[in-house]
Amino acid sequence: KQEVTQIPAALSVPEGENLVLNCSFTDSAIYNLQWFRQDPGKGLTSLLLIQSSQREQTSGRLNASLDKSSGRSTLYIAASQPGDSATYLCAVHTGGFKTIFGAGTRLFVKA
């Protein structure tokens, strides 16, 4: 059974700091992995989608890596800003169009 774990559960950093969010999954048989952002009272916004054959994806200050064999992904946020404060969710897509989510990391960036 696929399980997704995110560490840390919560993180508070000063503005400008670079940070790394971690995601691990138990079954390496995935189609792809996706990082989402959720703001309070809002839906999920897709940040980055990494195909199972890829090692990383970049978008602006965000960089996501994928090591399928070890069941790990990291989301790197460079030069964090208060506007980055949100919950970040990692999700893996398995067969049958199922999406398995982690519990998320709550990020707070202090001005």
Partner 1 sequence: EAGVTQFPSHSVIEKGQTVTLRCDPISGHDNLYWYRRVMGKEIKFLLHFVKESKQDESGMPNNRFLAERTGGTYSTLKVQPAELEDSGVYFCASSQLDREWEQYFGPGTRLTVT
Rule CB under 8 A: which residues touch partner 1? 4, 31-32, 34, 36, 41-46, 49, 89, 91, 93, 96-104
Beta-carbon contacts of 22 under 8 Å, excluding residues fewer than 6 positions away, are: 6, 7, 8, 72, 73, 74
Using CA atoms, how far apart are residues 14 and 20, in angstroms rounded to an integer? 14
Smallest gap from Cβ 104 to partner 1, in A, equals 7
- Which residue number, 6 or 80, has a Cβ lying nearer to partner 1? 6
- Which residue number, 52 or 85, has a Cβ lying nearer to partner 1? 52
- Which residue number, 45 or 58, has a Cβ lying nearer to partner 1? 45
